[in-house]
Amino acid sequence: MKQTFKIGFNKLKTIATTNVLLITFIITTVINSIIVRGMTIGNFYYIKPIIADLTIAIFVGSFAYFLKPKNRFKYFFVWSIIFILICLINSVYYKNYLSFASFSLLTTLTQLSSYTDAVVENILDFKDFIYIWQLFCLIFVHLQLKKKRYYHKVENIETRKIRFLNTIVVTLIMLGFFMSMLTSLDVSRMKKQWNREYVVQEFGIYTYQANDLISYIRTKVNSMFGYDEAAKSFREFYSSKEDDTHTNMYSNIFAGKNVIVIHAESIQNFLISDRNRNGKPASFNGQAVTPNLNRLASEGLYFSNFYSEESAGTSSDTEFTFNSSLLPASSGTVFMNYFDREYVTTPKLFKELGYTTSSMHANRGSAWNRQQVHPKLGYDNLYFYKDAYDLDEKIGLGLSDSSFFRQSVEHLKKIDEENDKWYSLLIMLTNHTPWNDITRWEEENNKIFDVSYKYQKKNEKTGKMETVSAPYLDGTILGNYIKSAHYADASIGEFVDSLDKEGLLDNTVLIIYGDHDNKIKKSFYNRYYNYDYETDSVIDDPEDERYIEVDDYFYELNRSVPFIIWTKDMKGTKYNKEITKVMGMVDVQPTLGNMFGFSNKYALGHDIFNIEDNVVVFPSGNWLTDKIYYNSAKEEYRQLDLGSAITMDYIKYYQQYSEKIVEISNDIINYDLIKKVGENTSNELLEEVGVKND
């Protein structure tokens, strides 16, 4: 027994001492995978993804045996760069989108040319490059091995073919052990891939990325893969979907009125009504950040618990969901990857009612491919820079909102003169990250919005009270965002006043939505909510009555954006109210449809006034009701209504419903089901779900 143990030990020692570079590559690769999980979803020590990443690293490393020992360093170095890029890109991407990157998103990289400053200022940190340590470690080990003539010695003693086969056997053993730990839920979510956080949590970052690549190639090579199953599911879903298009007090109240939709870049609800401060609007030293939006919200219909449901496509995702009542694509973006599909959109539905439609934006038509996408969505007339706007005042990424709105009024006047009914979308730009240019504009125009904290303090020498200023948000990213939001709000106020002077509000409904949150890190909100002006520090004591815990759930819930419907004569009427029920962007089209007199049978949202218990489904698979926010990846929730009993049946129902909504939306987008199946009443799948062709 002792002799057997000794032989086994010596054999392992020989394997270890003659595979130093391979072992170094495997260990450093796995450590980086642990780091990226720790920096994103936070589970450093969860064993299942470690085993998965270890299996991938061993498998990739095994092919080095096809090379001579002296050439293997180059092989490991190249693969280390690939794995480092996977970790780096996903780490940065998660920080911005709270999700993981996908190969299908490579088509959106062209959009980064306009946002380079935003990436550098708000996304990249020095710590994001921590993964590069792997290269230095490999180089150091390689140089040490060269000094000892290691590669020459190994070449003389090893049998490469046998070692390759042995390593593959180890890989298969590891794979078998890992697969024995999987559940049916793991396999299902791996296949669907849309809940990326869950896949990374259970399968590791490298397995996730490999699976994503396979999914991407599969859809590119064979666009019909899975079509029959998706079409059948589509038919079953809509044949059994409950009809909730009932009349209510809001039915047809705006029929025939003109419509102006303002796509308010990065405006969040905490500026207008902060749930964490008893619904008070954000203000600094007695001055409101968004006085004009506050007024419009107080005079119209204000949905204060509203979420954009966007994904990687951010603004473009919001436009798509707003117009179609479908969720964004889980893989890629509709505006870049799936714009050639058939969708039932709000502009098209307004056109059926005799409206002329237009979209206006002070950016290039190529931004998010809008030049091609907007006509597909149903916009008749496009007004983009440079064709329709003069760049007479630049702030940040392009034409200032103030100038954009001023020039847009002239376009709207002409549209109103030539058409009986019209629908126009105006996309704002100035409040897009980065916001560092706003301070230049403030100084040049002598319009400083002060984000410091001013308070009264007794002067010890004179004994008199005097005004003292604490830095608070001065010079911070969140501070600049608030300055920019204040400017954007002022531009909206100027726009509304100009419309009124031109008589364009007399028969017009104004609709305003925040397209998404500002993507600013959680740590900045900790300073915003827990600032101690007397010590210029952040309160971190939970026992302090001023302390507000800014955790992941707080951050997610705080991403709420405003949705406002306003007319000149709404104030003081029964329609002038705040709606606190949770609502998502998918619910906008059905809600507006009831008010204007149109409907979309493929809408995944609901008229918010026709549903008692609503659920907001996020592309990640997370979901929100008035009672709880549920994290699908972690399978845990934060209870919001403490007076309600939360049962497992309640969670199971909404979890299944949310998964189905994500699945159906993705199928519609991926396989163009509305065009290929939706209107094809002779399709044989009708019989499979019991729907007869009359």
pLDDT digits 0-9 by tens, 416-430: 999 999 999 999 999
Cα 80 to chain center, whole Å?
Answer: 29
Q: Identify whether residues 124 and 256 lie together within a single domain.
A: no
Q: CB-hemisphere CA count at 13 Å for 636?
A: 4
> pLDDT-derived band of residue 633, with 50, 70 and 90 as boundaries?
confident
Structure tokens at 391: 């760049």
Q: Identify whether residues 185 and 293 lie together within a single domain.
A: no
Q: For the chain, what is the mean pLDDT?
A: 89
Question: Strand (E) positions, 389-539?
Answer: 394-395, 398-399, 422-427, 453-458, 465-470, 508-514, 531-532, 537-538
Residues 466-484 pLDDT 10s:
999 999 999 999 999 999 9
Q: Identify whether residues 155 and 271 lie together within a single domain.
A: no
Q: Is residue 650 part of a domain?
A: no
Asked if pLDDT for residue 6 goes beyond 80, the answer is no
Please count the other Cβ atoms lying within 10 Å of the Cβ belonging to residue 339. Answer: 20
Stretch (H or E) spanning 623: strand 623-624
Q: Identify whether residues 407 and 513 lie together within a single domain.
A: yes
Q: Identify whether residues 432 and 564 lie together within a single domain.
A: yes
Give the pLDDT confidence score for residue 223 in this predicted structure.
54
Q: Is residue 552 part of a domain?
A: yes
For residues 133 and 116, what is the distance between their CA atoms, to the nearest angstrom? 25
Q: Identify whether residues 262 and 117 lie together within a single domain.
A: no
Residues 647-683 pLDDT 10s:
999 999 999 999 999 999 999 998 999 999 876 544 4
Q: Is residue 465 part of a domain?
A: yes
Asked if pLDDT for residue 119 goes beyond 70, the answer is no
Secondary structure class of 204 (helix, strand, coil)? coil
- Residue with the larger pLDDT of the pair 190 and 335: 335
> What mean pLDDT do residues 318-340 have?
92
Secondary structure class of 300 (helix, strand, coil)? coil
Q: Is residue 657 part of a domain?
A: no
Q: Is residue 300 part of a domain?
A: yes
Asked if pLDDT for residue 122 goes beyond 70, the answer is no
Q: Identify whether residues 395 and 511 lie together within a single domain.
A: yes
Q: Identify whether residues 63 and 155 lie together within a single domain.
A: yes
Widest CA span in the chain: 99
Asked if pLDDT for residue 431 goes beyond 50, the answer is yes
> What mean pLDDT do residues 382-396 have?
93
* H helix intervals, 193-285: 196-203, 205-221, 227-240
Read off the CATH number of the domain in which 546 is found. Answer: 3.40.720.10
Give the pLDDT confidence score for residue 337 in this predicted structure.
84
For residues 554 and 569, what is the distance between their CA atoms, to the nearest angstrom? 36
For residues 405 and 388, what is the distance between their CA atoms, to the nearest angstrom? 12
For residues 658 and 212, what is the distance between their CA atoms, to the nearest angstrom? 22
Asked if pLDDT for residue 305 goes beyond 80, the answer is yes
Q: Identify whether residues 172 and 301 lie together within a single domain.
A: no
Cα radius of gyration (the chain): 29
How far from 309 is each of 125, 620, 623, 679, CA to CA, in Å? 26, 9, 10, 27
Q: Is residue 642 part of a domain?
A: no
How far from 223 is each of 218, 227, 664, 674, CA to CA, in Å? 8, 8, 17, 16
Instruction: Decide which of 574, 589, 610 is a domain's last residue.
Output: 610
Instruction: Decide which of 593, 610, 627 is a domain's last residue.
Output: 610
Residues 240-276 pLDDT 10s:
988 878 899 999 999 999 999 999 999 999 999 999 9
**Is 214:191 a contact under the CB 8 Å cutoff?**
no
How far from 145 is each of 20, 78, 401, 653, CA to CA, in Å? 9, 18, 61, 59
> pLDDT-derived band of residue 148, with 50, 70 and 90 as boundaries?
confident
Q: Which residues contact 144 (CB under 8 A, 6 or more apart)?
A: none
Q: CB-hemisphere CA count at 13 Å for 379?
A: 22
For residues 395 and 429, what is the distance between their CA atoms, to the nearest angstrom? 9
Residue 58 structural domain: 2-221
> What mean pLDDT do residues 44-61 have?
92
> What mean pLDDT do residues 50-56 have?
94
Q: Is residue 585 part of a domain?
A: yes
**Is 430:265 a contact under the CB 8 Å cutoff?**
yes
Q: Identify whether residues 128 and 70 lie together within a single domain.
A: yes
Share of the chain above pLDDT 90, in %: 68
Structure tokens at 56: 């991938």
Give the pLDDT confidence score for residue 41 in this predicted structure.
83
Instruction: Decide which of 221, 255, 281 is a domain's last residue.
Output: 221
Q: Identify whether residues 528 and 597 lie together within a single domain.
A: yes
Q: Identify whether residues 153 and 288 lie together within a single domain.
A: no
Give the pLDDT confidence score for residue 686 in this predicted structure.
37
Q: How many domains does the chain have?
A: 2
